[in-house]
């Protein structure tokens, strides 16, 4: 059985997601020892040296979004995630956001799990780990799963989930109304959550990755303090407005703001 990671990388006006994905691919090989495929519309000559497999696809927009770290509204080309099952060249696939920073071999436990599909059910903000963080969405506070990290094996269960996500994306305005979602733009996390509800027969008895995603918000500055041993620092404003910081080693995290991560990549 072949196993590998799959990253979707479509650049916009502000962010070079392809460069970010290539940097992430090096870390995935280092910590997880698996090959990496990229889905992109980029035609850079060096792509085949940066990834084991390059899959060319058109960008599918999810609308535009305001990014606090850039203080600007930019295009968001991340709606093609529903094609992961069809596009993946692997029997077992770990789908990762290009801004998910692998710092450990923790995801090996997910790859070794017996389930055919797993995603995170919970997340926490690195600045305020004890506070609830985007646990539900919509008028009826529907439970949210995160599409940031998804593991699937080629199977009927996984295909049902991705087929359901495709259906939801194709009829997004209907599902927005049905679930009382105020945001106009399509969002992979919401589509995944609704799809898992449908495939589970609306029982919400869904196997999930048994730990939360460590999330770094756009207003939190991140920096790589030491490469060996690897130590990341996160700076943010406390409730009193005074600057605070926390250092973390050996912890994977989701860099929800791209500007600071790009600065780290440029410095590497």
Q: Which domains does the chain have, with CATH numbers?
A: 3-210 (3.90.550.10)
The predicted model scores a pTM of: 0.94
b/e for 221-252, b at 16 or more Cβ within 10 A? bbbbeeeeeeebebebeeeeeeeeeeebeeeb
Of the pLDDT bands very low, low, confident and very high (cuts 50, 70, 90), residue 202 is very high
Chain mean pLDDT for the chain: 92
Give the Cα separation of 163 and 58 in Å (integer): 19
Of the pLDDT bands very low, low, confident and very high (cuts 50, 70, 90), residue 259 is confident
Q: Once rounded to an integer, what is the mean pLDDT over residues 258-266?
A: 90
Higher local confidence (pLDDT), 58 or 193: 193
Query: Looking at residue 133, what is its pLDDT?
Result: 84
Q: Once rounded to an integer, what is the mean pLDDT over residues 205-232?
A: 93
- Under 8 Å CB-to-CB from 59, ≥6 apart: which residues? 10, 41, 77, 80
């Amino acid at each position: 059985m072949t196993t590998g990671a799959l990253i979707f990388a479509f650049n916009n006006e502000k962010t070079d997601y392809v460069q970010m994905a290539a940097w992430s691919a090096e870390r995935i090989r280092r910590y997880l020892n698996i090959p990496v495929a990229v889905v992109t519309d980029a035609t850079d000559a060096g792509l085949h040296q940066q990834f084991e497999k390059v899959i060319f696809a058109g960008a599918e927009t999810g609308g535009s979004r305001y990014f606090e770290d850039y203080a600007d509204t930019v295009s968001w080309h991340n709606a093609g995630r529903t094609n992961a099952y069809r596009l993946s060249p692997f029997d077992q696939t770990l789908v990762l956001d290009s801004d998910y920073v692998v710092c450990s071999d923790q995801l090996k436990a997910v790859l070794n799990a017996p389930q055919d599909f797993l995603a995170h059910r919970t997340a926490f903000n690195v600045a305020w780990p004890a506070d609830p963080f985007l646990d539900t969405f919509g008028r009826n506070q529907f439970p949210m799963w995160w599409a940031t990290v998804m593991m699937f094996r080629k199977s009927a269960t996984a295909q049902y989930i991705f087929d359901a996500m495709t259906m939801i994306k194709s009829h997004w305005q209907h599902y927005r109304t049905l679930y009382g979602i105020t945001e106009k733009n399509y969002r992979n996390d919401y589509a995944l959550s609704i799809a898992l509800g449908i495939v589970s027969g609306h029982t919400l008895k869904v196997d999930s990755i048994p730990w939360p995603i460590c999330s770094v918000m756009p207003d939190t500055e991140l920096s790589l303090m030491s490469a060996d041993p690897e130590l990341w620092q996160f700076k943010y404003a406390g409730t009193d407005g005074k600057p605070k910081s926390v250092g973390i080693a050996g912890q994977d995290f989701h860099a929800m703001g791209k500007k600071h991560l790009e600065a780290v990549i440029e410095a590497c």
